[in-house]
Structure 1
């Protein structure tokens, strides 16, 4: 059985999907660590409080 394959196939292979998934998970973990840090939480809380004060 002969498989048809386009020579200009720009899709990702299974290994590329795996690497992309691992990279995305690592990036998500890094962002989670940054956002859950106390300094960032304080900054985000200050921004939200300021926005709510401006809405009054």
Structure 2
């Protein structure tokens, strides 16, 4: 994977982690956010947003 693509994925992952932390989520079932995949983070964020409404 190119360095540019890897950097973009890391920035995207960090964005979702920051959004979840802002929503009050830090981990799920003993798995910290930094251990999640980017897809898991995005799905978790959308789930949190749905339940907040």
> TM-score interval w.r.t. the shorter chain?
0.3 to 0.5
Q: Name the larger-Rg structure.
A: 1
More strand by share: 2
Say which structure, 1 or 2, has more relative contact order (CA 8 Å, 6+ apart).
2
TM-score (norm 1): 0.41
